[in-house]
Amino acid sequence: MIRLHNTLTRQTEKFQPIMQGKASVYSCGPTVYGYSHVGNMRAALFSDLLNRALSYNGLDVTLIMNVTDVGHLVGDADVGEDKMIVAMRREGKTAYEIAEFYARAFFQDLERLNVKPASKYPRATEHIPEQIAMIERLERNDLTYRTSDGIYFDTAKLPEYGRLSGQKSEEKLAGARVELGEKKRATDFALWKFAPEGVRREMVWPSPWGEGFPGWHIECSAMSKRYLGVPFDIHTGGIDLIPVHHENEIAQTLGADGVPEANLWMHSEFVTFDGGKMSKSLGTVFTVQDLVDRGYDPLAYRYFVLGGHYRSKINFTWEALDAAQNALNKLHEATRAWPRPADTGDPDYLERFLAAINDDFNTPEALAILWNLVNDETVPLEVKGATILRFDQIFGLQIDRYLGKLIEVPDDILELGARREAARVAKDWTESDRLRDEIAIRGFAVEDTADGPKFRLV
């Protein structure tokens, strides 16, 4: 039984897939107007954790992650320019070139973080007809109105609006100092924006309402329906998407198609830097490439993220990343000397691990179980190996690249090892200990096994 926290009900619930043996998941992906930072990558790592954990439980997962390449405005409240247009001006490139460039960088980061590819990464600009069709359905259901700059969703006409964030439309209106403009309510949002003067032609499409481009939220409702059908099982995203983007997605699907978009909504918390915000102006924004440039293995960041529960804030510091890198090295090195894994793992450890994962993805607990196993001398090494490879189907720390793979030992170290072995045979313990120390100074530990001396890095 898998228990998952549902933002919509604020409860941890038993997961019951719509179709037995299958799971359909939609994750909000990047807006490709700039590099994704390590905070953004946490949302992708959470989507990957969900994908891996459901697969581990034997479910056949379809995961869709969109790529936003139009419609995401600088201000979330339907004001400001499209983020892609800002990037076009900044870099003197076409929208297509910008999207290609940053989408590629994002996919490279996914690969470096060992994220399993989604089933599909649909792009907003490739699904304009579906978005227009959905807005037409909303219009037929009398849920839209027109202003001088676009077509808007009339949230007052949908009594269910606001359920996800638990915030009433009027409260938001009272609390926020939002420029209403021609909008009737603060929570109303753009479905279609008319092309303002001077917008590049490539960012403009014809529509029944005139030339323009879709609002940001409609792409997710349209593409999730297109690829998963609605309702589907689980929708994910970063926690900041709850009050506007996801609320609006729910309203669109309910308004256009009369059904909930997804049964379960899951959100990953933010990453802070040194206890504060990740912000460009403060210089506290780092990309995966920045970590690589500083000599870290991207998987150290993956390990760091696994160390916190996905619903807790995690605080990124260089010390924390050092600790994660050290733990990861230790784990990889420990497994090098292990023999070929057995066919099956240790049932007790596997059960405890699955219980932690299926308890709303308690990865800190699952990592603690992993270290218990590594240090447990009662479990034979080949059984440890089989167990840890199973764990790694969820952790994704590429243990298979290290397990049983002894490192290349330089000839002179082998020579020192052979001399030490001879000293041991001659029972010259002083000389054998001296040679062990000499080997240790060179960074290797030597272990005496039935097959002769074995080396590992210290």
Residues that bind ligand AMP (CB under 6 A): 28, 30-31, 39-40, 42-43, 237-238, 240-241, 270-271, 278
Element (H, E) at 97: helix 95-112
The answer to whether residue 158 forms part of the interface with Zn ion (CB under 5 A) is: no
Q: Which does 428 bind (CB under 5 to 8 A by kind): ligand AMP, Zn ion, none?
A: none
In the bound state with Zn ion, the residue whose beta carbon lies nearer, of 253 and 387, is 253
Residue partners of 454: CB distance under 8 A and separation at least 6: 337, 406, 446, 447, 448
Q: Which does 220 bind (CB under 5 to 8 A by kind): Zn ion, ligand AMP, none?
A: Zn ion
In the bound state with ligand AMP, the residue whose beta carbon lies nearer, of 29 and 341, is 29
Least distance to Zn ion, CB of residue 218, Å: 10
**Token pair for 123:** 């792009």
Q: Beta partners for 272? A: 315
In the bound state with ligand AMP, the residue whose beta carbon lies nearer, of 31 and 325, is 31
Binding mask 196-235 for Zn ion (x = CB under 5 A): ------------------------x---------------
C-alpha closest to that of 232 among 100, 110, 418, 54: 54
Q: Beta partners for 457? A: 444
C-alpha closest to that of 42 among 147, 115, 93, 100: 115
Interface size with Zn ion, residues (CB under 5 A): 2
Report the distance separating Cα 401 and Cα 43, nearest Å.
26
8 Å CB contact between 48 and 116: yes
Q: What is the sign, positive or negative, of the torsion defined by CA atoms of 270, 366, 389, 60?
A: negative
Least distance to ligand AMP, CB of residue 67, Å: 10
Q: 3-class SS at 230?
A: coil
In the bound state with Zn ion, the residue whose beta carbon lies nearer, of 49 and 220, is 220
Q: Which does 271 bind (CB under 5 to 8 A by kind): ligand AMP, Zn ion, none?
A: ligand AMP
In the bound state with Zn ion, the residue whose beta carbon lies nearer, of 28 and 38, is 28
Report the 10 Å Cβ neighbour count for 433.
Answer: 13
Q: For strand 22-27 and strand 60-65, is the pairing parallel, antiparallel, or unpaired?
A: parallel
Least distance to Zn ion, CB of residue 220, Å: 3
Least distance to ligand AMP, CB of residue 279, Å: 9
In the bound state with ligand AMP, the residue whose beta carbon lies nearer, of 240 and 376, is 240
Q: What is the sign, positive or negative, of the torsion defined by CA atoms of 413, 398, 305, 377?
A: negative
Q: Which does 121 bind (CB under 5 to 8 A by kind): ligand AMP, Zn ion, none?
A: none
Q: Which does 40 bind (CB under 5 to 8 A by kind): Zn ion, ligand AMP, none?
A: ligand AMP
In the bound state with Zn ion, the residue whose beta carbon lies nearer, of 28 and 356, is 28
Least distance to ligand AMP, CB of residue 27, Å: 8
Q: For strand 444-449 and strand 452-457, is the pairing parallel, antiparallel, or unpaired?
A: antiparallel
Q: 3-class SS at 119?
A: coil
C-alpha closest to that of 204 among 35, 113, 84, 371: 84
Q: Which does 270 bind (CB under 5 to 8 A by kind): ligand AMP, Zn ion, none?
A: ligand AMP
Q: How far apart are the first and last CA of the chain?
A: 41
Q: Within 73-132, which residues bind Zn ion (CB under 5 A)? A: none
C-beta nearest to ligand AMP: residue: 238
One of 4, 23, 25, 28 touching Zn ion (CB under 5 A): 28
Residue with tokens 């000389």: 431
In the bound state with ligand AMP, the residue whose beta carbon lies nearer, of 231 and 308, is 308
Which region among 23-31, 271-279, 355-363, 368-376 touches Zn ion (by CB under 5 A)? 23-31
Q: Which parts of this chain interact with Zn ion (CB under 5 A)?
A: 28, 220
